[in-house]
Amino acid sequence: MAELLNDYIPESALARVKRLLEHDHLVVKIKKERKTRHGDYLALPNGTHQITINSNLNTYRFLITLLHEIAHFEAYQNFGRFIKPHGKEWKQTFQRIMLPFLNPEVFPSDLLPLLARHFKNPKATSDTDTALALALKKFDEPNNKTYIFDIPKGCEFRLYNGKIFKMGKKRVKRYECIEVKTGRIYLFNPNAEVELLNT
């Protein structure tokens, strides 16, 4: 299974990740991009456990996502199936698993302070930590997307699902945008990637 991950995570992390995956009934599958998630964990009815990770993630986000899902597996094993998905048991497990990877042999030094801060209280997704999400996106393949915070007020943009919005005002942390078709107001994180439309 570790050979499958060779192209997806930093080489310096492979040996430790391989040890974390040494379970007879745990399978990791690499999937095509899913817009709504980077990865997931499932305890299957036949007693096996499955982790899926999107193939399009850069090596650092892939590693963080894989460890996030391994933490779900270990929390399930240690605390049972009735715990909250991102509750204290998962948070503590994720912190314990992540700690040995937080060094400059695995992550670039400019990411380390952001990761250290994030892992004081990890969230359900690192995308809600705007500073960390933006720093991680610097390692993505170039694309034609624009960040929400770069969209001028009043301009229109398109989401991955085809919905078109008009840029509104900034609230405390998020941006208020109006869906053109329905007039409904939605709030966007500043690091959301969208396609600016020529209007």
Domain boundaries, the chain: 2-137, 146-196
pTM: 0.83
pLDDT of residue 199: 55
Tens place of pLDDT for every residue, the chain, 199 residues?
Answer: 557 899 999 999 999 999 999 988 999 999 998 888 899 999 999 999 999 999 999 999 999 999 999 999 999 999 998 999 999 999 999 999 999 999 999 999 999 999 999 999 999 988 888 889 889 989 998 877 788 988 999 999 999 899 999 999 999 889 999 999 999 999 998 888 899 997 5
Q: Position 56: which residue type?
A: N
Q: Could you give the CA distance from residue 94 to residue 86 in angstroms, rounded to a whole number? A: 10
- CB distance 192 to 148 below 8 Å: yes
pLDDT of residue 116: 96
Q: Could you give the CA distance from residue 14 to residue 34 in angstroms, rounded to a whole number? A: 24
pLDDT of residue 16: 96
Q: Could you give the CA distance from residue 132 to residue 118 in angstroms, rounded to a whole number? A: 8
Residue (of 155, 157, 145) closest to 191 by Cα position: 145
- CB distance 8 to 62 below 8 Å: yes
Architecture of domain 146-196: Roll (2.30)
